[in-house]
Each structure stands twice: as C-alpha cells, then as structure tokens.
A and B are shown apart, each in its own frame.
Chain A
Amino acid sequence: MNKNNSQEYDVIIIGGGITGAGTARDCAMRGLKVLMVERHDLATGATGRNHGLLHSGARYAVTDPESASECIKENMILRKIANHCVDETDGLFISLPEDDLDFQTQFIRSCVEAGIPAEAIDPDLARRMEPSANPNLVGAVKVPDGSVDPFRLTLANALDAKIHGAKLLTQHEVMGIIKEQDRAVGVRLLDRHTKEEKTYYSKILVNAGGIWGHHIAELAGVKVNMFPAKGSLLIFGHRVNKLVINRCRKPSNADILVPGDTISVIGTTSDRIPYDQIDNMCVTPQEVDILMSEGQKLAPSLATTRILRAYAGVRPLVAADNDPTGRNISRGIVLLDHEERDGLAGFITITGGKLMTYRLMAEWATDLVCKKLAIDQACQTAETLLPGAKKRDNFSLKNATQAIYSEAPLSLAQKAARHRHGSLSTKIKDKNEYEDSMICECEGVSVGEVNYAIEELHVNNLVDLRRRTRLGMGTCQGELCACRGAALLCAKSDNPNAVKDDLADFLQERWKGMYPVAWGETINEVEFTSWIYEGVYGLKPEKN
C-alpha cells in the first residue's frame, strides 16, 4: 500500500460542520497535524440549517438541566471568543393567555438552578422592550439569549485550524474508510471537482459527520444509529424583533423567533423522517402553515411580513427509543470510542449535542484523541479568541472618543463587512471606489469583500460565496447580485462556462428555499428573476 508520509496526519476529521471545524481547531491548537474533509462546503448540513440561536439554555432548563447548564457556559464563552459572530440581543420567554403561568415559576427556578440569569419582568415593560411581541402577553422572563451566525462561526473555526497548520479539503467526499486489521488508518476521498480519488492516512479518524455520521460509521463497519428528526424554519424578509422571543412552555412547534443579521427566523417543526431522505428534504405546505400560524402568536406582525425562504435541517440526535417527535431525547453530547465499543481502533465518533455546545464537543473529542496519542496538551479553545473576534479592551472615555474620531466615515459596505468579518475585515481591499462598489445591494457586499472571500475564505463556487458574505441572502435572493458575483468568480477562473453553470446552480439553490413560500412578492420576484436570467441572459440549467 502506498503510504506517503507527507500525506499522513495525526488526525483526520470527517465533516466540515461546526463540530468538525471546532474539533479541527482544537486538535490543531494542541499541536496535532490535522486534515479536515468535507463533502460539500463548510456548514452545509445541520450547522447552517437551524435558528442560529445563541441559547442561554433556558429552553432546556425544565426538561434537560444538563444541556441547559452546558448551554449557558458555552454561551458566555462564545460571546467572548466569537464576538463577531454573535449578536447579544437577549431573549424573552413570553406567556400568552392560553399558557400556564405556573410554568413560569418552575421555569425561572430551573433556570436559576442551571446558572442561567432569568428575570421575570412586567408585561408592560416586555411590550416596550419588544414592540413586536404579542401584546396579549401575560408574563415575560428575560434571559441572556442571542443569535449566532453559524456560517461565520464555522468559518472562524476552520480559519483558526488553518492558522494552526490544519489542512482543509472541501468538496471531498469520503468514499471509504481504510482499515488495517482492527484499526482505521485512513480515508478514500473523491474530489468532486476533478473526480479524482485520493487517499489520506492518519493515526486517528474522527467521525464528525453529524447525521451523515451514521453513514460514515457504516463505511468503517460500525453502527451508530442516528435519529433523523427534521425541523423546518421560515426566514422573514427583515428583522422583525429586537430580542429573541420564545414561548414560556414546554418546547413545541414554532415557538422561537430569532433575529439574526438582516432577517428573523421562526422555527421549528419536528418530524421523524426516514434516514434515506436526509439529503432531499423539502418543507411541506403543512409545515409552512404551522410555522406561520404559531409564529403569529409570538409576533402578530409576522402575518403581514414577507417570507423570504423556507428550509429544513436534520437534528443529529442519537437514537435511543422510539419517540416519534425526537423532542424528548437529550441534546446531550455523545462521544463514542469505537475501540472500546466495537473493537475498531483509531476511530471515534463525536455527535449529538448542538450548535451551542460544539466547542465542548470538540474539547471532549480532542481530549480523547490526545489521550490515544499520549499527548498532554490542555484545551485552550475557551480562552483563545477566534480569528475576527475583537479583543475587548477595558472601557475608557479616551478609548471610546479616539475610536469615534479616528475612524473615517465608513461606507455602507464597509460597515456591513466589519459586522460580518470583525477584525479580519482589515484584509478586505475596499479603499478605492471600484472595490467599494456593491455586488449585493440588499446586504451591502462589495467587490472588495467578494474578492477577499474568493481569495482567502475557501470558496469553490457561488453558493460558498453566499455563505461567506451573505451575497444573495437579501430580499431579491440573487436577482441582481448573482451574475455580478459570478463575473468576479469568472475573473479568477480559467473556465467561464463552468461559472455559468455554477450561476444556474445558484439560482436553483435559491429557488429551493423559495418555492415552498412562492406567493406574494416571492412569486413576483422569481418571475422577474427568470425573465432576466433565462429571458434576457439566455442562461440554461447546464452546459452553458
């Protein structure tokens, strides 16, 4: 067997979601030689398909105290290490007339026990704090919820892994696990671009494939039974609420409304789906109706707010019993040492958990990797800032005044870029008028930002570019910006015709989220977009 030493790693991490990226970062920071492989792009699975809620843990305080206390600890850590990905909005748990107010008492008690600052506030104050909340509310509790951008958080972890020497391969699908006797020693990968097969070797393989980890485990010949529970969400066209709004009751359908970036997200539903359906999920009209009607109970103005998209994710829960909703399963972290469990050395699975606890999951997995490799290095991911996060100096009037007066007035795109990339935005060339020109006018994405993303942020195509920059995530869903973005990609590509196909894929990807909500302005907009791209431009689905 061709064992090329230059391609041998201490650890190969399978999966480019938040768990994989977080684990890659932790391993790399502890000095390991790391390879992370991902079939599509960073954060394409469940990581990017949830609320983006920076849980305070309050939601689980009553039903799952362990998760709740993990959440609040990680919440505080993320506010520090990933402040550029986090929006510290705070959250409200509101009780409506039909809700049991006694639950509120139990809820606050459980929060306090889990270490979550929860404070009952006067309904009038709640209405003033959050004008979009249902004015019929009879009770409200304030908790330190917030929102977090999962794309940027994953990217920041991946970038930090890279800074610490890790190698990242996106668009590489695991076709097989290479075993020698009772040991997993490497992976066979398919490069989805070149269609080449490659092999890489390592001392340890970490299965961080989320719901797809079920399949990865099968490739290794072991069984990890995942419980695919689909959750659907709706994106509203603008930021409706300032604070996260939850229902103060046992977790149920569509009871969280999260403001994130320029939009608000309502979710989720919960339904068990067959494992073979996890790659082609679509949101049903029934789910859309539930989300709309339940959402309006949280914030009545949602009834007249434009819906941009519908999407669904699959919770990577590990099956335990036959609960049809998947809701009573612990969100707890599952770390499997397959050497102990199945007699397969060199293979571990990290799964369960949630976006909020990714860092802790990564820490557990890395601890086990280090133990196996007999490396004695402490985890530093809770203290070390992620790339882009800003150091928070002690506040002084002098510093604040300097900050105000030293900075030249920023253009819209510069403001938006600073918001998205934090301190890394200094790498964006946006000083001259051409570079500051806007590609995406809805979200304020400049030529400079797109070029930075193409050059430095691991972009393979237009859809990746969207995740890095928010290009095409505004109300027009790519109508004006898609071809401008494609033109910049084209300028750096040697195959313009492939970029045209990529543009077609991008439009199809946008449509996937639009067709379940294709009424009102969405259907108008898509007709207009089709006229531009198919009618005027003559774009075809493939072989352009």
Chain B
Amino acid sequence: MKFDTVIIGGGLAGLTCGIKLAESGQKCAIVSSGQSALHFFSGSFDLLSYDRKGAEVAYPLEEINNLSDHHPYRRIGVNRIKELLSQVAPLLENAGLHFQGDADMNHYVINPMGKLKPTWLTIDDFSIFDPMIGIPWTKIALLNISGFLDFHTRFVASGLASSGITVQVKYFAMDSFEKIRHNPSEMRSTNIAKIFDQETVIDEFIQRVNELSEGFESVLLPAVFGLFNSTVVGKIKRGVNKPICLVPVIPPSVPGIRSQITLFKRFQALGGKYFLGDSVESGTFQEDKLLAVNTVNQGDISLVADSFVMATGGFSSLGLVASPEKIYDPVFDLDVISHDKRVDWVDKNIFNKQPFMYYGVKTDAAFHAIKAGRAIKNLYVVGSILSGANSLKEGSGAGISLLSALHVSDCIMKADSKE
C-alpha cells in the first residue's frame, strides 16, 4: 500500500502531522497501537508553564531561551516556533476544536487541587482566568453527582478556600445515573458523559444546577460533558443561569476523548487512513532510507511511503521501552539517549525530576532519526519521544507535540517539493 507519508503513532503529535500533511494534499496513513494519551488530556495545552526551578512562567516565548540547548524547542529554534505558532489555532479550528489563549502570555485554569495553573491553550469547555485578576468570584457552588468517586470536591474546595473564596459543596442524585451506579467500578467520567450524550437528561440537570447554585456567583462542575456528542457542553452552558467552570477529573478525560475523535475525523475527512489497534512490527531500510513498514494486522501487505514519522510517545505510550538492561525504541531500535545503568534512570523521590523523563530517540538537527549512528533521511521524530525535555515538570508536553509535528510537516513538504 503506497502513501506519501506514514505516521507511526496517532496521538496529538501524529494527528497534527497527519492533518497538516493531508491538508496540503498528501496521502497519509497513521498506524496507532490503541488509543492515545489524548484520552488523559487535562483540557489545556501547555507551551511552557514552569521554568527550570519550577516557578510559574508568565511569558513562555521569553522563557524558551532559558531552556537547555538539547530541548526540542531550542532545536526547532525560537523564531521558527513563532512562525509555527500561527498555524496551531487554524489547524485546530478547521478540525472543529475551539481553544482559548495565546502564546504571548499564559493564562490560568483551575486544577483539581483548587489551585490556579498557568497554561497556553484551553479548550472552550473550560473557563480561563486572567493572570492579573485571578478568579473573579467570591462565592462558588461546587456540585458533584453523588456516587462519582473521581471528582474530589473537598480538594477543590480547600484549594479555592485558601485563595479566600467561599465554596459550598453539594451533591445531588438523578434517576438517570442510578443505572451506572449499579456497577461498582463503572461510575466513571466517560460513562456519565454517555448519559448526557443522549440529551434527555440535560433539561432536568440544568434545572437542578440552577436550584442548587441559587445565590452563588458561579458553579463548578466535574468535566463530564460531551463525549461523542459535542453539543452537550454548549447546551448546558446556555441553560445554566450563571457562569459554569469545569474542573478536570481522574482519567479517562471526556474533553480529551472528544478532541481525539474530532482530530481523527478531520484526518479521515481529508482522506487519511488511520490504522487503529495495529502496530508496526518491522521496517525495510536501505542505506539511509526507510522504504516500507510492516504491521501486525496488515501482515505481508507493506505500507510503502516516501516519508515516515515516529510519533510513538513516551514510556506510558510505549514509545520507549525499558528492559532491565536498557532503554530502547521498540519499533525500529533507533538510537536512544538515556543513561546506561538502570540505577541512573530514576530518582528516589517521585516528585524530583526523574532522569527517564528526558530520554528519547536521538535525532540530527533536521529531526531525522538516527539508527546505528546514521541519520535516516526520510524518518522524522516528533512529540514526546523526542529527548531533552521533562514535559511534566516544564508543562511543555502539548507544545512539543504540536510544534515539532508542524515543524516536521513543513520539512516533509519541502523535501517533497524538491524531489
């Protein structure tokens, strides 16, 4: 099967790359072994939220200069990043995802600890706050569906209370949710969202929210609205007679899955082929080129392409695998930057910077993967599998995925036009 570009990994980086290339007329395929880390998305994309000492960053573009030379942002280059940033919002908008915020200055969102956290782009389900003003309300009603164990109201409330906000926690039950409560493990965000997706409960829900939040300036709710049905959040926001502020819950993330599906549909509508639940088993290399890949499901029918992109993610997405002896890329055994001895992979304190978070596939300056010391000239690396960043501590994960994917897409298109 012949494609212009085959992308391995169907998360934020892979889909961004696929959509960008398909928009420019390329025939693309994405091979994704299962669903991606977008399923755990908090609702906000971070560009750079914390500096190297862990302090909050207000102006991420300025702070990029203080990152190490090995950091993916520095390797892309600050000026290039500024160019690429202008592509982000249109790409998401055209797919049907609406985000708030911009890269010049971080805004705040409320996290499940009831604290404000700086971020770059936030999906329009959530409320964003101006860093100069903070949360503008003094009296908030915090509502939860009784029996829902993945939204921790007292954590949120105590965090907000420490900023001087009065929060009242209220639980309420509705008949429509009793059915899932019958299942001892499945009162999860997504299963609640599926009930809202049917829309029959929305009116009753709005009425209950309005009753329970009477006398409050705003109402905080868990982010459990609009899984497969993207109109639910809007309907609820319009129906409730005061500002609604959603708070992320324990995964799976309802807005995350909706984002994944929206991006997937955009890719498919552009003619992209998405091989879900399939994984690349081997590649055929010839000198410094990758000619084709074979997957578990497609067997002897190879996926042939001019360019390939590795967007397989970090450890938790199995982009990198650790055996007791070494850390490796399970797809092509590309060269990996990591420490040799396993004692050096970890820090004894879970909250310290873990060395393994910085590991990734080695690339040249043009983001070509390196295999046995040699750059593979048509195999590019994007997203969390890039080395040199601790995206958790920096708050840079989504930024690296989006920007490296856009950067590499441009490189692929330029290489394409040269040939």
Interface residues of A (CB under 8 A from B): 282, 285, 288-289, 292, 411-413, 433-434, 436-439, 441, 446-447, 480, 483-484, 486-487, 490-491, 496-497, 499-500, 504, 507-508, 510-512, 515, 518-520, 523-528, 530-532, 534-541, 544
Contacts and interface: CB of A to CB of B under 8 A. Distances in A.
Contacts of A446: 184
B154 A490 contact: yes
A434 B248 CA distance: 22
B315 A504 contact: no
B113 to A, nearest CB: 5
Nearest to B317: A524
B113 A537 contact: yes
13 contacts: A285-B341, A412-B184, A433-B184, A437-B147, A437-B184, A484-B250, A500-B113, A527-B356, A532-B250, A532-B251, A535-B42, A536-B251, A544-B113
A262 B17 CA distance: 43
A487 B184 contact: no
B40 A531 contact: yes
A151 B20 CA distance: 57
A524 B112 CA distance: 23
Question: Chain A binding site: helix, strand, loop or mixed by DSSP?
Answer: helix
Contact of A528 (B316, B322, B324): B316
A504 B42 contact: no
B372 interface: no
A536 B354 CA distance: 17
B149 A532 contact: no
B150 interface: yes
Contacts of A289: 324
B411 interface: no
A411 B324 contact: no
B417 interface: no
Q: Kindly list the 9 A-B residue pairs having the minimum CB-CB distance in the complex, ordered from nearest.
A: A496-B158, A538-B111, A511-B350, A519-B322, A541-B351, A528-B316, A527-B316, A487-B152, A515-B346
B308 to A, nearest CB: 24
A526 B181 CA distance: 29
Interface of B: 37, 40, 42, 111-113, 115, 117, 146-147, 149-150, 152-155, 157-159, 162, 178, 181-182, 184-185, 187, 248, 250-251, 253, 314-316, 318, 321-324, 341-343, 345-351, 354, 356-357, 392, 397
B155 A524 contact: no
Contacts of B318: 524
Contacts, number: 139
Contacts of A288: 324
A519 B359 CA distance: 13
A500 B155 contact: yes
A497 to B, nearest CB: 5
Contacts of B42: 535-536
A490 B184 contact: no
A411 B185 CA distance: 11
Nearest to B253: A536
A496 B154 contact: yes
Contact of A434 (B147, B157, B162, B314): B147
A372 to B, nearest CB: 46
Nearest to B146: A434
Output the residue of A507, A528, A538 with the most chain B CB within 10 A.
Answer: A538
Nearest to B43: A536
A285 B343 contact: yes
B40 A536 contact: yes
A518 B345 contact: yes
A486 B147 CA distance: 15
B351 A490 contact: no
Contact of B112 (A438, A510, A537): A537
B356 A496 contact: no
A241 to B, nearest CB: 22
A487 B149 contact: yes
Contacts of A487: 149, 152-155
Contact of A508 (B149, B187, B349): B349
